[in-house]
Amino acid sequence: MSELQATDSGLKYRIIEPGEDPKPTADCKVQVRYRGWFPDPSDPTQGEQFDASGDQPISFPLGGVIGGWTEGVQLIGRGGKIELEVPPELGYGAQGYPGAIPPNATLRFEIELIDFAAPPEPGPIDDDAAEEFAETPTGLKYRVLRKGDGKSPTATDSVTVHYRGWFPDPADGSQGNEFDSSYGRGETISFPLNGVIAGWTEGLQLVSEGGMIELHIPWSLAYGESGRPGIPPKADLRFLVELMKVN
């Protein structure tokens, strides 16, 4: 059995099967089988198992898991298999994971990469899409980027959407730090339109099913003076939203 190799980050790995090129990137959604154990000091290939996927593969965005997995799974292609030794700083750190992973634990994994897919991208923009934002009496700013060919929702409808949200850069509001994205997760989301922030409730009624809209939402129509985890107080937000379906 070959020795583990180490990356600059401190991750140790051994490629059991390289798999087929290409390899996934951190923004891909991956499907894997795996098992994880606490390495025995006398024989790290053995130890107490703390988790396993079993026969059923699991899927997740590769950038949404511990750093050791995000880095390590990118080293193999479809059908590949890799063994990882993940140090605490690339695992669950000084906090651990209550009930499962103690603080400062080194972890060992064997991972088989079944499949992966690049994240979806927003669809096309109409050639005659508005370049300037319109503004409603509430202060919501919007521009329809693609006209839909279905019905428009009402506030009491449930909708299915793809979206990305970012903090607009003062110099160029079309750019900024992204804070959330269904594209990045590789999955649409569905929700009652009257169960989200007011800027979404109002804004999505301005576009038809199959359409795409860009919203500039003032903090008063978003998360207000308090903000929420990941959103600071009084934060204006920018969203690109594709209305996939009015349910």
Q: Which of 13, 66, 101, 223 is catalytic?
A: 66
- Residue appearing with tokens 């099967």: 17
Query: What is d(CA 195, CA 208) in angstroms, rounded to the nearest whole number?
Result: 19
- Check if 191 is active-site: no
- Check if 66 is active-site: yes
- Check if 236 is active-site: no
Q: Which of 40, 51, 126, 169 is catalytic?
A: 51
Q: Burial-class residue 202 by CB neighbours within 10 Å (0-12, 13-18, 19+).
A: buried
- Check if 51 is active-site: yes
Q: Which of 38, 50, 60, 167 is catalytic?
A: 50
- Check if 34 is active-site: yes
Q: Which of 13, 109, 116, 239 is catalytic?
A: 109
Q: Which of 13, 76, 82, 92 is catalytic?
A: 92
**Which residues are known catalytic residues?**
34, 50-51, 66, 92, 109
